[in-house]
């Protein structure tokens, strides 16, 4: 899907979002060294970020990277990484469809103290990442995610219902399966992925019906319209696997039929809850921003655990997202409304991974995008 002229227009709303991104996510200071890496499909967004840095008196170095395979990226990036003694490094990356070269970046910062660098990786770069995706502060997202995690960790059984017709019953095993918490909070030594706003885990068991009436998000190239508001995908799930699905959109139905035919792609690998209150409108293109809408989504195929823990492997991840929803925990009569989550006053739980996006490096091609 090609970017439209409106998509590429740097207006005041985008400009404010850029500075919010630099302030609250990149934590940019006047004496930082900024390097911006970008793929060809995201050069505009990289240029915007460089302009915003320049307006603050910080000159950013820009470096091109080919998506997935780029044998010379390390040679181009390495000279731009300053010695630790010269100050903090802020490395920003922008990509449209991929998350490339994690290994290269990790190698180049491996000898630095974690406090002397920050890596912020933007996936599905678009104007909406700046106008919507980073509108909510990391502190609020952290508090919202904490509420969801606390309620899940205290329960064994959950029932999830959504206005579109979703009705699921799942068993949660918080001792065995780890949580993912995307909240935009910097953890020294870790890479931050934006747009943020999600809690996810692996369901020990799950059955029922998902009516995905918001969006599809998938980790393979898909150039169709991912919006599902007019043509929901209805999925029946039994014992942790899809048994049947339907969708009136022929293109979407054909894509899902092909995707679900891959080994283990019918398995539910993720029980996810979007938590970003700024997300309300679905983008037509494949985007993690759609997955952040307050609501329930199931990820089929690739899971968010280790293969040993999950018990299988899969090279495709199919997120089907529903808007809104409520969660009943065990025998509690009062559900948690996903569109009105009260922020927790407690500290975000430790030992929770902050990343929900894997690298598409050609060396391991974990997302299957090269097929």
Name 258's Cβ contacts closer than 8 Å, sequence gap at least 6: none
Residue labelled with tokens 């309300």: 280
Where does residue 1 rank: exposed (0-12), middle (13-18), buried (19+ CB within 10 A)?
middle
Tokens of 363: 């060396």
**HSE-CB of 325 using CA atoms within 13 angstroms:** 31
**pLDDT at position 361 over 50:** no
Buried/exposed 288-320: b ≥16 CB within 10 Å, e otherwise: bbbbbbbbbbbbbbbbbbeeeebeeebbbbbbb
Domains and CATH numbers, the chain: 12-133 (3.40.50), 138-337 (no CATH)
| Cβ atoms of residues 145 and 348 within 8 Å | yes
**pLDDT at position 280 over 90:** yes
Full DSSP string of 16-35: HHHHHIIIIIS---TT-EEE
- β-bridge mates for residue 212, sequence order: 233
**Rounded mean pLDDT, 197-211:** 98
Q: How far apart are CA 344 and CA 190, in angstroms?
A: 24
> What average pLDDT does the structure give for the chain?
93
pLDDT digits (tens, 9 = 90+) for 295-343: 999 999 999 999 999 999 999 999 999 999 999 999 899 999 999 999 9
Q: CA angle, corner 111, sides to 83 and 185, nearest 5?
A: 95
Q: What is the pTM of this model?
A: 0.92
**pLDDT at position 47 over 50:** yes
Q: What is residue 264's predicted lDDT score, i.e. its pLDDT? A: 99
- How many C-beta atoms surround the C-beta of residue 342 within 10 A? 10
- State the sign of the Cα–Cα–Cα–Cα dihedral 113, 115, 116, 118: positive
Residues shown for the chain: 371
Buried/exposed 17-45: b ≥16 CB within 10 Å, e otherwise: bbbbbbebbbebeeebbbbbbbbebbebb
């Amino acid at each position: 899907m090609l970017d439209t002229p409106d998509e590429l227009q740097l207006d005041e709303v985008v400009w404010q979002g850029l500075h919010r991104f630099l302030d609250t996510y990149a934590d940019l200071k006047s004496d930082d060294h900024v390097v911006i890496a970008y793929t060809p499909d995201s050069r505009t967004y990289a240029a915007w970020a460089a302009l915003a840095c320049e307006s603050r008196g910080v000159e950013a170095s820009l470096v091109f990277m080919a998506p997935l395979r780029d044998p010379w990226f390390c040679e181009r990036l390495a000279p731009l990484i300053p010695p630790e003694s010269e100050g903090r490094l802020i490395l920003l990356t922008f990509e449209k469809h991929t998350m490339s070269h994690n290994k290269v970046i990790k190698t180049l910062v491996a000898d630095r103290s974690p406090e002397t660098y920050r890596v912020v990786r933007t996936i599905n770069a678009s104007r909406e990442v700046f106008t919507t995706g980073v509108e909510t502060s990391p502190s609020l997202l952290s508090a919202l995610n904490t509420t969801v995690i606390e309620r899940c960790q205290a329960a064994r059984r959950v029932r999830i219902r959504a206005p579109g017709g979703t009705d699921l019953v799942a068993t949660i095993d918080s001792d065995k399966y780890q949580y993912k918490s995307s909240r935009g909070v910097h953890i020294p030594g870790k890479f931050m992925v934006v747009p943020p706003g999600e809690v996810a885990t692996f369901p020990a068991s799950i059955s029922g019906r998902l009516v995905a009436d918001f969006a599809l998000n998938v980790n393979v190239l898909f150039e169709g319209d991912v919006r599902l508001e007019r043509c929901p995908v209805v999925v029946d799930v039994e014992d942790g696997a899809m048994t049947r699905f339907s969708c009136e959109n022929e293109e979407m139905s054909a894509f899902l039929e092909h995707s679900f035919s891959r080994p283990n792609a019918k398995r539910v690998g993720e029980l996810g809850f979007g938590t970003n209150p700024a997300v309300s409108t679905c983008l037509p293109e494949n985007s993690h921003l759609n997955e952040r809408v307050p609501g329930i989504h199931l990820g089929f195929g690739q899971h968010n655990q280790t293969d040993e823990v999950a018990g299988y492997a899969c090279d495709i991840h199919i997120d089907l997202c529903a808007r809104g929803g409520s969660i009943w925990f065990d025998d509690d009569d009062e559900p948690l409304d996903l569109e009105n989550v009260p922020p927790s006053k407690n500290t975000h739980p430790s030992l929770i991974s902050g990343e929900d996006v894997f690298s598409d490096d050609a060396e391991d091609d974990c997302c299957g995008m090269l097929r």
